[in-house]
Structure 1
């Protein structure tokens, strides 16, 4: 046994001696630089490019099989810039010689210094690396084994002592997109790399881009594990740090950081990103993501959380001006969390929970297809004050519009175009304030398709209900608007007061139904094209600003030839019920069936209002019925049965009321004439009756005398 061992040891010593002698021979007598021209010719034949070797080539054999090369560059493809495709200052790599005998590859530290890459794309889409691999292909080695398993078994373990890349640069010039990107001062280093064993790495690079214009540095570090046999790759505590500035960045500057664990299993086709934490401006984002089906149809799921932040501060740090809001405390608090899932073409946010200032938001959001912009949602908000987010009202005093000038009669806005997106959803709000109106239990359906937006709001408001159907057709031309439905059982006074922010001119409880259509979304354009009708039915209310009973007293005074008493009582006209139908068309609202009733009065009316000029031309006709005492306690006997006309004029902002004396006198004269006719007729009828009775008596007397003579 000992003799065998001595034999093996002797043979090993001989092998080592031969290898050392061969290495010494090659080191002293073999010069790799003698093959420079052959190497240049081979590269030219295979790639069509010029290889320039400006530095020495060194070769070592024992105990490392290695090489080192000095400055070198590879020319660019024809039709591209004069910059070399690739160049380097120096490179060195070594492989342990003896482990190769056992099929293992042990590489010493690989060092690359001053690598420069110039990647280009022309306007026609051709790249300067597309020609690689188009040269003569080397013949495939003949298989000496019939078993694929044997081939795989011939490959041993691979280990690398580490990688050092210093002072590298990469330029990407894209003539198609008109962009230019430059990465320089690229550094990258690793620890010893062993199969399925963790190793540390770190690196970074400076960058400069043209669109958006920015420059800065990105650094990264972490711990990696490469299990090539199982095709499983792991990055632990992967950290990124970004510092950049430039005119193309929001706010001109950005500082960001990220930390995450990444595991990719190519056999299983999965990728997971865990323990993710991202800091971007003032945003803190955390969560995780799992991807499946990497090989064929990737899909992902996970959760994302955005900690509480100040939207105004975020916009300021991004160089954006926060919108001015009626409530200056708005846009100061927000947060968001949701489960996220989807594919390359879709995304869904479920179990969504967030807040904006005093509003709590929950629900789901689903983008079914990014390319078709197909969106669906189901969101709930506990409370929302829309008015507080609108721009603050100007402090300028209000002035009544001049005749011919309607509110919003400014320049025409660019037509709205809603074609493209397809939206379907539902929005519920517990308490909503918009345009001064307060609503609760709001439930609105939203549908958008081919540029047509349909809203179906339902809500409780002012003791009643809102049930409407709003349609907007916006396809890049003048918008078409439709409104159907209305309100029922609503306290009109409070609604008008909140809607106009002025004292209400009408009170009562009742219904308003609408069937309207128009063109444009606001201003004179919409008012001039509104077409349809509005029906109003109220009970137990009042018309404020006008006291019809006072006009009746004025009418009585005029008829009596005396001066009317000054206005007494509240400037309003009470009613037990009121109804009216308003027809709209050509920019004019017309009414001919006003009916207002109270125990004292009967009021009718007819006329019109110009919606564009905002002027009024309306005649109210009032008459006394029932009791003989009106508002203010004054007797109205002299005008009982007389129709008193009241002319309403002026503008929407400043309406005027006056007694139509001429019409009143005509009405009174006519009434008196009819009264005199009735008296004359009564007197005539009375005389006729007296004559008739007297004639009857005479006839009776004559008849009696005749009968008496006959019997005699």
Structure 2
């Protein structure tokens, strides 16, 4: 019984002790879990650790099933001068609270959950990033009592694990030019305060989805530098519900907050470079398929310098098809391979593809990986060795030497059996070589020992480019090219020749399209001498061609222009003076031969004639626009052609629909063509017009508006059909684009109609070519027509009765009658 009494006393005493302890503990817990006090301590601790202002709503405690805390309306302010009020906001925060940690002035949060946080990341052009936190407490919320605030800031916040759902993340990195936004479906961070926190992130945007998993070194809220911070992460990307790539990162980062001092191994693949837009939308990337990358990337920047410089210690890159058209028009690659096992190993390049439908292969080496990176970072101020071979259907090209540096030397050689050029031109059996020297860090280039030999051209020479060698420091190009043979017709190509089977109407006179680019003449100087021993141009052979092109301070002079041809000598001098506010264009042309289609195109005319136009005269104009130049034209000019073609359709426009029906619309062999004019006051006074074909002789005169293109022409066409024909004077009004022909009455009101009847004396057609060519050439020599002048056929039947519609008349005479009816002579 005594023992039972002792037991009861022990149990009672124990119960009383437990009540006392429990009561004391309850009082202590109540004191520690005062919501307002804990909220103030948490805010002060976070502000001290981050240097940012913190916003928290009221705290709610939950004891069962475990001690936890909830808070609504959470926010962390942006950096000073940032674009946002808050860098991070969340609708609600929930976490389990470590009770024992409170005894050590620590707020330990386990299972921290953020609901719908919004995160804004930004970096300025100067590299200031809002995710870099500093434990300065500079922005800490003011507390009523300094002592109380100091005591609260002595507390620390520790986080064990984090879970985030439905987060909106956007970034604006103005330093790199990257910006975009994604939705983070979940973020799970475990062992946040430990040595190896684990990461599990999944997100998406309009371009696709991604995941990121792995572990890193210890995570701190501040930007305190860490030595050898490890990272091991794997990312996977999907688009349209299908996997499109993956990337593994493994290595260490000395300063992860500033991304400095990293040494990372990369191993990844992408089905297409477009897949990167799943995490970085808005990037402008080329179209590259099937990318495989293995590399070791290190930070090459000094530890005490802002920013980082990524360098490769090793590189292996393989791709599938590459659309390189944005860099070289018409270029596509079937694959590209770049390899460098180590930083001191050469970079090897291999590729194959097509350029404008022709197969190509590229192989070769650059300098070591270190040399490539140094040359790239210095913009080729440092030298870069290279040896590249390009071969394929067009031919072969080899480039070998050293680019960049104070003195770069490169040898270039090329061969091609048939090399296609623009406008349908080509070079056949091509062999070319040259020696390029660059000095003074690219301030001076010398292209020497130029040697080009092909079926169409053969020349040698040298060209210099001095970047600041011209007047007032503009670039200067100088040199000399000497050709033993030049086939200009072949080099122009068929695409440059007009189709003489039809005519494109000339443009109507339009408003001034704006200033011409005369200012370009002030941005570069030129001094080039060109000589050609033998040349083919517009079907004629020329010898000893020579010209000297000088451009200095906006003044362009081409003098002399000379060559010896068959039956004529080319000579002339042209000058464009754009050194002042109002440019002046002038030229004295003894004889110059130009393609008719080129002249007509510059003058805004239809493709009326095709062949070699011989131009003579002296002209001067001034102005900044085409209209000003045409209005101010003064001088005299003649143009002529023999043995070319003229468009039947164009003649029909001048002579009327009936004549066009009789002559046809296709090309007509042209025996001669010529006109001569004086220009002043915005008008051309054409004193001589002459045309002769087998079916037509035409003479005349008149005026043309230089700007308005209005016509006032008096023409006398003589149409021949098998030795029989007719002539009637015409007056042509309207414009070049829309001529309006009608019969031209004499001073007495009568029409001087002429009938050319075979077999009648005095009915031969006068040959207009001698007088026309003499006037149009201003007495200069030139080739003569290769065919005799057409004449009436004395054996042809006919007569007035035939023309008047005799049913037994020859068919050609009937055509003449129809022509006269079309011209309004016969009813």
Give me the TM-score of the superposition, normalised by structure 1.
Answer: 0.48
Which has the greater radius of gyration? 1
Give me the TM-score of the superposition, normalised by structure 2.
Answer: 0.42
